[in-house]
Each structure stands twice: as structure tokens, then as C-alpha cells.
Structure 1
Amino acid sequence: MERKIPTLVLFLWIFSGTVAADYVRPQPRKTLDFPSERKASSYPQQVHISLAGDRHMRISWVTDGKSSPSYVEYGTSPGRYDTIAQGESTSYSYILYSSGKIHHTVIGPLESNTAYFYRCGGEGPEFQLKTPPAELPVTFAVAGDLGQTGWTKSTLDHIDQCKYDVHLLPGDLSYADYIQHRWDTFGELVQPLASARPWMVTEGNHEQERIPLIKDGFQSYNARWKMPFEESGSSSNLYYSFEVAGIHIIMLGSYTGYDEYSEQYNWLKADLSKVDRGKTPWLIVLFHAPWYNSNYAHQGEGDGMMEAMEPLLYAAGVDLVFAGHVHAYERSKRVYSGKPDPCGVVHITIGDGGNREGLAHRYKDPPPEWSVFREASFGHGELKVVNSSHAFWSWHRNDDDEPLRSDQLWITSLTSSGCLTEKRHSLRKILMAP
């Protein structure tokens, strides 16, 4: 398991190789400082948006005032709001910490590929968002294990240069690790990007924050980062699915039940049974702990989930899996059951967003036959799905200029390769199993 720095809370201690490229990594960067700034109690803070079902967005923000309203005004022209949507709010307490009022308001229906201007609770600045396109091409930014360091800031600056439509984050957001005000500073850090494009996240081990007999896990994460689990038929914010421009994306939970008798596994079968690959040519999955990992860090931690779910994802014809957890970058060939397979899944570990724990430098040598490229550097990825058959993947080191790609690949979808015809029978058999 990952070694954590012990954190003192109420006088309790809570314990919660080589690389492919010839590249000299720069020194670590320090954790960012966030000077306190007093704002009106109803002033919207930590604004971020997420997809919330067909043609809808969820606007989330925090206010210090407990009586602040949860409505959003929005329209397609600056300063002119022709629609108002009413939302909901929540809050939570964690030992000596009490959160502000956390607001979640769903707006829509919205036009695709359109800029909207909005204001939260009738206070504060005007924000602008852009909805994803309804048809391909579409671009995703991908970065996990962000944290709040100088490298995080560099990652965000590079992502800001990318003309992306949706951000995908495979776990480990704030690295608050029980210190709850760090959730607040993380929300402020990502607000410039997360208020303008939807951020779709799943949980990592640093979101658990469980204290045995005192606090259940994921309380802070679930309160602040509400995802469209209800809209996708899930009973848990820890796993859900959504669609963008003919791409079905499934966010799974590495830290909730995943065996064949679990709620998550049964939900996943039901979700996959609804996917029409004729209309949805691409299938992408995200979770936190990688299944294919040649780094010594976190070796084998995804094996249980892999044993339970890999046959299902393979039979369903998943094209890409993104994971985090290991603080480095690695890309596989199409692979299944530990071996290269032309009808398998491309696995990409991208837990290199900038966290305070540093990089995972040590790799196994020689590399496994399924491993194509690996490097212990901070960075982010960009996935441009061009059409139903082709997508372009690129990975960018943080200290390189944006035009320089450190790794890149054209990916052909399984729907265009003939693989899904062979898989149809095995998928039907798994989906019909009790």
C-alpha cells in the first residue's frame, strides 16, 4: 500500500527504473501557499461544472453563508440571463471542521458546442462555460493525481493551452488527506479551468479520508464533487457513466466493492448492456489503481479488480482505460490477460498531475512485452477522437513547451477493426449470467 505521512487530527495519528526516454527530470516543486482572503458570505467560491445527463450541466460552488440561495442564472449573451434553475445544497462536518454551504444546480437543456454565461446565487462574477459538441471530433484533457504543488500549477497551465472539451480525472484530486481546508484551496486552484469546461472525476485512495468508528470514507469528496451517478442509474457517486459525442465513458471505483456479487459490478453489466456500439463507436473506462503497471510503486494493487472486471471490459470491447495512482506515465499495447492482444484494451497510467508525494522513478527491467512507453515525469494527456475509427493520443511533459509531445499514438477503434463481431457471444454470455 502507499506510504502516507501521518496526520495529527485531534491528537490522533491517522495512517491512512528506468524510463523509456533519455530525459533528465527537474527538481520537485513546493506545495502552493494560499493567502486567506475575506469575501462576502454569499460570494460563490470553488466553482466547477460537470455533465449531468443528456444536454444538461451541473454547476457546483461553495458559499460561507448558510442562507445563500442555490439558483443559477444563465444565457447565451454576457450579462443577459433568460433562464433560472433552482438547485440543492448540502454541508458536512469533519472533526473540528465545518464546510461552507455546498451548492449543486443542474441547468439545461443546453445547445451543444455553445458558450453560456452564468452567475451563481445572484452574487459574484459572471462565469462562462462551453458545452461539448454533439458530434465528433471532440477533445479530452486527461490528468490524475493533481494535488496542490508548483507542478500542479504547471499542469493546469498546460491544460489551459489545450483546446479541450472535457477534462477526465482518474482519482486523487486535492490531496487534502484529512485536512479539510485543503479541499477549499484545491477548489479555488482549479476554478479558472473547472468553471469553464466540465470536469469528470472518479475517486482515488486520497479521497477516502476514513476514520474507523468515527467517519465513513469519501464524505468530503461526495459532498463537493457530485457526478451524474443518478442520471446513469448508479446508486453511488463512486461509479457512473456519461456520453459525449458518441463516446461512452465509464468511471469506476477502485475503492468500493467490485467483485461479481457487488453493486458496482452489477451496475456495470447493466450499463454496458445499454450501449449500442453502432451509435457509440468508442468505449472508454477510468479508475484509479492501474491494472497494467511495470513501476515498482503500487505493484499489484489493482489485481483484485482486474481479476473481477477485465473479462467483462474485454468482452464489451473497451478501447481505452485511463488510471492514476502511480506517479508516472505509462502506455501499453492493446492487451488482455497480461499479454498483447489486437482486440484488447490500451491501458494508460497518468497519475502524474503534480502531487506532493513526488514521482515514482523505479521501473521493472526489462519492461513487460505489453509496455510501450514509460517515464517518471509530471504532465498531462490529450485525447482527440477524430471520427468513429480514429483517435489521436498525446502526452506532454510539464516542462516542455505545449507543442512538444513526449509520446503520441494514433488509435483505431475496435468497432472498425472487426473485433466486436468476435466478442459479441462472450459479452452476451457474461451479461446474462446471474
Structure 2
Amino acid sequence: MRQFSCFPVLAAGITFVSHVHGLVSNSSINSQTRIAYAGSTGMTVSWNTFSKIDRPTVLYGESPFALTNWATSDVSVTYNTSLTYNNHVKITGLKPDTWYYYLPTSLMKNDTSAGPYKFKTSKPAGDFDPYSIAVVVDMGTMGPEGLYTSAGKGVSPNNILAPGENNTIQSLTAAVHDFEFLWHPGDLAYADYWLKEEIQGFEPNTTIEDGYKVYESILNEFYDEMTPITTSKPWMVGPGNHEANCDNGGTGGYTASICMPGQTNFTGFINHFRMPSDESGGVGNFWYSFDYGMTHFVQYDTETDLGHGLIAPDSPEGGSEDSGPFAVADAQAKWIAADLAKVDRSKTPWVVVAGHRPWYSSGSICTACQEAFESVFIQNNVDLVLSGHFHVYERNAPIKNGTIDPNELNNPSSPWYITNGAAGHYDGLDSFTYPLQPYHRYGLSTDDGIYGWSKLTFHNCTHLTHEFINSANGSVLDTATLYRDHECGRRLWPKGESN
């Protein structure tokens, strides 16, 4: 990879390439431009094209009228059934907490009217200015190929959108200036629901041989829909079970016979994203960490590589997709322990972790995940554990080894657990298992028919607020503030404020 400076650019001098792949039938596919942090002084820019690019290049600068720097790579990759190539360029040596304008030089034809995009680099560790982030899990394609105002047979009427109701992608787009980045720990697009949608009469019929075209159509529609967010806000992703599958979606019995090469073993997920594992010693898009201001964030993998011979129930690693492992035995467990042990709490007093599957919920749980991760989170004083997979919103109390922390949110010594799998996808939300668990504090399920996302606000080094944002209208339906005595700043908020 090379970077050069002082490269004068005129808009008219930029060459855009658009060679249509033979399988493409949807001319509306855009370049799906997206960014991800590469340390506090770096950013990875990714985008898609119909043809392989020999030298993917990104022009950038601190002014939209002077993209005087450029970075290149040789990473332009695809897989057997993909309609596009994924291009990745890492820009390094940037100033922290600084706005930059950028433009890939080979955007698809229908993207050429876009001016330079812009991003802001990460706040460096030790910056105690307040900020907010957005978190979604289990968010699929919206509109006629996904979550919509109608659905197929068997889908609860509570789980479809009302006419004119905003979906979660629209809600995030409307609030894009209210958060610094979007964290998405698993289950993106739900393209593997293509067969379920057709069996239930929602999507037009196709043949098994052409199923990959429908799969790729749903996948590309989702990435297109995300572009208004992902061109300006880093999209930090993690693995979920739907990244490994080609038709999952509750159809049962079909997987082994119809999975096409390229749609199993996280292939699309591996090709489409580049997370900061190089900067943190992690592995690919599966486990990594990064600092942002006063917080150390850790993305971990509940789908594969649990270590100690553990396999999550119904996980891709243990299922018919034959997915993973992606490292030697116990590599993830050792990495998490080492990563958390070296956190400098004087600079990043908050430690927030996220993995796809929960082990504390009033429904679907992953006991193997609990065995793999809970003890190391407790030992290293993790503040908050985020998850999804169970398609509800459930805010729980802080918990340690199954026991509710007596302090609740007022300086607990246990991690706080929140599951929010209510972002929305084709067949929507799940039901709680009753009676609710004793650690349950607030929840929304299919009975409520409400989709939403999480907003985390780090006020200072001792107070962190979680809000559930109703996607339909942007209202806050649940809010709670965690107080932790990190001994590093003024206490500006009342201890343990919660609503």
C-alpha cells in the first residue's frame, strides 16, 4: 500500500469506471461506500464496483476543494456468486478528531454526481469530551425485499410496518448527526431469508439454481440503503449467524442442498468489510478492539472460535455451513484476556463489549458464550455488554455469574447487560419467554410491535446513558444511566439516574 501527497485534482479529471457484470439485473446498485476506523489516525474506505480494479485509489484532503492526497491498495476482491468487487483502501497518518473529505476514484456510474464525502477521525484515547454512538443488531433489508408494510404467510401482523412508518435505517439516517459511529454486532441484511420469503409468498418465485441472484439482490439492496449513513459515519461490524448462511430463515432442511459457493462460511462478510484487527491484534472482521475518546470498545465473536472446545448451539460453526474456526484453538479467548488486561483506564475508563448472542435474556441464550466470555469480562471490570440475536429489546440489571448486583446502576461491580435485537428485518420481532427473568428491567417484543436502535451517550468518565430510540418517530422509549466510580473526573450527574 502506498500514499502520496501533493497530488492536484480537478473534478473533471477524475475517471469513473462502471463495467456491468454479466449477472447484474439491477442497474440501481450503487457503490455502497463505507468507512471504518483504523486507529485514531486512520480510516479504511471501502466501496464496490462491477469490475476488478488494479489499484483502488481514494483521494482525500481537509478541504472539499483540495483533495490533494491519495492512498492506494491492491485489494479488489470478490467471490463466486457476487455481482460486484469489494475495494478497500486504508488511509493512515491522519490527524485525530479531524474532518476529512474523500472520494474513491472508481465509483459506479450512478454515483458520479456525488461530491466528495466526508468523515471525522476518531477522538484519541484520553479525550474526555462527551459523545454518542448508535448501536443496532439484527438489522435487515428494508422495503419490498425485507421489512415492509406487508409480509408473507405466517408473519405476525404486529411485525409489519404501518403505511408511512419510518424503519430503522430511515431513523438512523435522520439522526446521523447525533452519533459518531454505528456499531452493528451481527446479522446484516438477512439476505439468507430469500427462500423463506418465497415459500411464504412474499417474493416472486425463482429456481434453486437462480437463488443466488435473489440472495445477492437483497444483499445489495441493503448495502445501498445504508449508504447515506456509511459514507460519513464509520460502520463497525461483527459476525452474526446470518453472515454464515445462505438460506437459514427457518426453512429447515434445505441448507445443505442449496448453499452456493460464496454464500457460506461468512464469505460475503469477509469480502465486504475491513475492521481494525491489524491495529488491535484481532482476527479479520471477527474480533478486534478500538479506542474512541474515553472508551475502549471490543467486538467479540459468538459464532465461531469460542475456545476450550465450546460451540454455541445452532451456531454456524456447529451447523451444516461448516463455518470457522478462523484461528488456532483458544486464540480469541487469549486475545480478549490480553486486550482487556492492557487497557489504560486512566485514558479509557469505560470498557464496552459487544457480541451477537446473549447469555442473559428472557428468551434465547447462549450458555457456551457465557462460559467462554463472562469470567474474563468480570475479571477486567467490563462496564457494559451489548448483544442481539434474540429479536426483542431487553434492558437487564448488572449481573455477575447469574446474581443481580445489589447496587443495580449505582456503581455496580458487575457488567450491565443490554440486548437489542429489535432493529427489524423481514419477519420482525420475537416473544419473551414468561415469566420474565428476575434481572429483567424493561423490554419490548412482538407484542409491542416497535422497532428501534440503541443510543449510548458517554457524558464523562463516570456516567453513561443508554436510550432505546423508537424508529417510527424518533422518540425515546427507555432510558437508563449507569454510574461507575472510575475515579477520573468530576461527578456531574446524580448517581444511578434511571427512568
TMscore range, shorter length: 0.7 to 0.9
Does structure 1 residue 175 correspond to structure 2 residue 239? no
**Superposed displacement of residue 262, structure 1:** 1.4
1:357 match:
427
State whether residues 77 and 85 of structure 2, in contact with CA within 8 Å, keep that contact through their aligned partners in structure 1. Answer: yes
1:190 match:
226
- Out of 118, 131, 135, the residue aligned to residue 128 of structure 1 is 118
Sort the Cα spacing of 1:414 and 1:360 in 2 relative to 1 into closer, same or farther, 3 A.
farther
2:334 match:
266
1:415 match:
486
1:20 match:
none
1:149 match:
142
**Superposed displacement of residue 68, structure 1:** 5.9
Task: Provide Cα deviations, 1:49-71, integer angstroms capped at 9, x if missing partner.
Answer: 00012311100000112236411
State whether residues 317 and 414 of structure 1, in contact with CA within 8 Å, keep that contact through their aligned partners in structure 2. Answer: no
Q: Find the residue that maps to 1:223 and give its secondary structure.
A: helix
Q: Find the residue that maps to 1:372 and give its secondary structure.
A: strand
State whether residues 139 and 384 of structure 1, in contact with CA within 8 Å, keep that contact through their aligned partners in structure 2. Answer: yes
Letter matched to residue 320 of structure 1: L
TM alignment of 1:156-235, pairs within 5 A: 156-162=169-175, 163-177=178-192, 179-209=215-245, 217-235=265-283
Identity of matched residues, %? 29
1:429 match:
none
Letter matched to residue 220 of structure 2: D
Letter matched to residue 149 of structure 1: M
**Superposed displacement of residue 240, structure 1:** 0.8
2:439 match:
370
Which has the larger strand fraction?
Answer: 1
Does structure 1 residue 313 correspond to structure 2 residue 377? yes
Sort the Cα spacing of 1:100 and 1:68 in 2 relative to 1 into closer, same or farther, 3 A.
farther
Count of residue correspondences? 371
Q: Find the residue that maps to 1:93 and give its secondary structure.
A: coil
Task: Provide Cα deviations, 1:258-285, integer angstroms capped at 9, x if missing partner.
Answer: 1345111011112112211122100000
2:7 match:
none
Sort the Cα spacing of 1:277 and 1:381 in 2 relative to 1 into closer, same or farther, 3 A.
same
Letter matched to residue 486 of structure 2: T
Distance 1:393 1:357 in 2: 26
State whether residues 226 and 237 of structure 1, in contact with CA within 8 Å, keep that contact through their aligned partners in structure 2. Answer: yes
State whether residues 138 and 165 of structure 1, in contact with CA within 8 Å, keep that contact through their aligned partners in structure 2. Answer: yes
Letter matched to residue 123 of structure 2: P
Structure 1 vs Structure 2 CA RMSD: 2.3
State whether residues 237 and 285 of structure 2, in contact with CA within 8 Å, keep that contact through their aligned partners in structure 1. Answer: no
State whether residues 39 and 279 of structure 2, in contact with CA within 8 Å, keep that contact through their aligned partners in structure 1. Answer: yes
Distance 2:344 2:386 in 1: 22
Q: Find the residue that maps to 2:140 and give its secondary structure.
A: coil
TM alignment of 1:14-413, pairs within 5 A: 36-37=26-27, 45-67=31-53, 69-94=55-80, 97-121=81-105, 123=107, 124=112, 125=114, 126-134=116-124, 135=127, 136-150=129-143, 154-162=167-175, 163-177=178-192, 179-209=215-245, 217-260=265-308, 262-295=330-363, 299-300=364-365, 302-341=366-405, 342-365=412-435, 367-376=436-445, 377-399=450-472, 401-402=473-474, 404-413=475-484
Distance 2:330 2:297 in 1: 20
**Superposed displacement of residue 122, structure 1:** 5.2
Q: Find the residue that maps to 2:431 and give its secondary structure.
A: coil
Distance 2:432 2:352 in 1: 28
Q: Find the residue that maps to 1:396 and give its secondary structure.
A: strand
Distance 1:309 1:245 in 2: 25
Unpaired segments ≥5 residues, structure 2: 1-23, 149-165, 193-211, 247-254, 309-328, 406-411, 489-499
State whether residues 390 and 412 of structure 1, in contact with CA within 8 Å, keep that contact through their aligned partners in structure 2. Answer: yes
Distance 2:28 2:190 in 1: 24
Distance 1:38 1:282 in 2: 42
Is 205-214 or 320-329 further displaced after alignment?
205-214
**Superposed displacement of residue 236, structure 1:** 3.6
Q: Find the residue that maps to 1:267 and give its secondary structure.
A: helix
Letter matched to residue 219 of structure 1: T
Sort the Cα spacing of 1:144 and 1:265 in 2 relative to 1 into closer, same or farther, 3 A.
same
Task: Provide Cα deviations, 1:39-85, integer angstroms capped at 9, x if missing partner.
Answer: 8xxxx701000001231110000011223641100112123201101
Distance 2:451 2:74 in 1: 37
Letter matched to residue 218 of structure 1: F
1:15 match:
none
**Superposed displacement of residue 180, structure 1:** 2.7
**Superposed displacement of residue 416, structure 1:** 4.2
Distance 2:74 2:392 in 1: 38
State whether residues 167 and 197 of structure 1, in contact with CA within 8 Å, keep that contact through their aligned partners in structure 2. Answer: yes
**Superposed displacement of residue 38, structure 1:** 5.9
Is 47-56 or 205-214 further displaced after alignment?
205-214
